């Protein structure tokens, strides 16, 4: 029964990663499109870029952790 709980937790974590990746990319695309229309300075563009990069790095780290946990449960 413990394995099932672990798999559910890993699946939940995977869904969270997927939502962060999709949401950050949608936010980035929207910001890139909307920024010039609102006349935002370039420094805000860099701020948005770095925020999205941070979200993507976080998602890579969590994805690696999920992969390691799945490898541990296999053997």
Domain assignments of the chain as residue spans, ordered by start:
2-74
Residues 10, 69 contacting (CB under 8 angstroms): yes
User: If pLDDT is split at 50, 70 and 90, which confidence band does 3 have?
Assistant: low
What whole-number distance in Å separates Cα of residue 32 and Cα of residue 48? 9
Structure tokens at 53: 């990069």
User: If pLDDT is split at 50, 70 and 90, which confidence band does 2 have?
Assistant: low
Q: With the C-alpha atoms ordered 26, 27, 32, 37, is the resulting torsion angle positive or negative?
A: positive
pLDDT digits (tens, 9 = 90+) for 24-58: 999 999 999 999 999 989 899 999 999 999 999 99
């Amino acid at each position: 029964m413990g394995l099932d709980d672990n798999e559910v937790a890993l699946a939940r974590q995977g869904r969270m990663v997927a939502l962060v990746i999709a949401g950050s990319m949608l936010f980035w695309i929207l910001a890139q499109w909307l920024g010039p229309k609102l006349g935002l300075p370039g420094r805000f563009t860099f701020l948005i870029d770095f925020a999205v990069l941070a979200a993507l790095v976080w998602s890579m780290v969590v994805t690696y952790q999920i992969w390691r946990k799945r490898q541990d449960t296999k053997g």
